[in-house]
Amino acid sequence: MKVNHAGGTIVHVGELLLAALVAALRAARLTDGDVDPTVGGALELLGYDTDFASIRSDDPAPVTFMRVPGWKRVDLDVGASTVRLPEGVTLDLGATGKAVAADRAAAAAFAATGHGVLVSLGGDIATAGPPPPGGWTVRVADSHNAPDDAPGQTVALDGGALATSSTTVRRWRSGGDEVHHVIDPRTGGPALEAWRTVSVAAATCVDANTASTAAIVRGDRAASWLEQMGLPARLVRPDGTVVRVGGWPERDA
């Protein structure tokens, strides 16, 4: 928040925020801007900085979008541990920040105990060390807190990470319209919902989250892109149709 409100001045940041910023800008670069940390202003304009219960759902005014400044406007000096944002640019690290935390927590727990560990942070899963026999059993669904009988699939992780991005949980009404939290940087508004949920397995949780978020934004182009990247993924259309690519298992573990 200090960086966001610095008014264009240089801010010195600590090691944790620096790591989160590096991860966010790397995600933007690898996805050609589909995962962009400068969507903070667009999210605020839609009401995402307010408790959902406090947002007026009967407001007849149309939903307003704003131009996303773009990740290339973030001036990050890794060597000096400083960052500068132009006036009016607001960072939101939600797309990758939680994944950074999962990766770091898993690595720290394994280093401290010497035992295999799985860390799950609301849909972002990271592992470290040896898995249990048969792998880590994970239930993949639209929501991380969905009941066991909800639509989904049970898979086994031998290592690495898995992330799920979805438009079904963080939804609210803005200007009389229903919106969600995955922003398309090209429009400044919620991404068109070609997929309601995308789950991706990768070497790290940051990579898995980057790919799953980008897939929601890319829409119909996502399946072929994930296949080309060699990332196992499960994509669910709004009507519940499931598409699996990259070697994602067809059956439950």
Domain assignments of the chain as residue spans, ordered by start: 11-245
Instruction: Say what the pLDDT of residue 67 is.
Output: 86
Confidence (pLDDT) at 123:
84
Listed residue (245, 209, 204) closest to 93, CA to CA: 209
Q: What residue has token string 């607001």?
A: 90
Please, what CATH class does the domain formed by 11-245 belong to? alpha beta
Q: pTM for this structure?
A: 0.89
Q: pLDDT averaged over consecutive 10-residue blocks of the chain (253 residues)?
A: 95 97 98 95 75 58 77 97 96 94 98 97 94 96 78 94 87 65 85 91 98 96 96 96 96 76
Would you give the DSSP letter of residue 71? G
**What distance in Å separates the CA atoms of residue 225 and residue 209, rounded to the nearest whole number?**
15
Q: CA torsion 224→225→226→228, rounded to 10°? A: 80
Both tokens of 147, joined, read 């009941």
> What per-residue confidence (pLDDT) applies to 42?
81
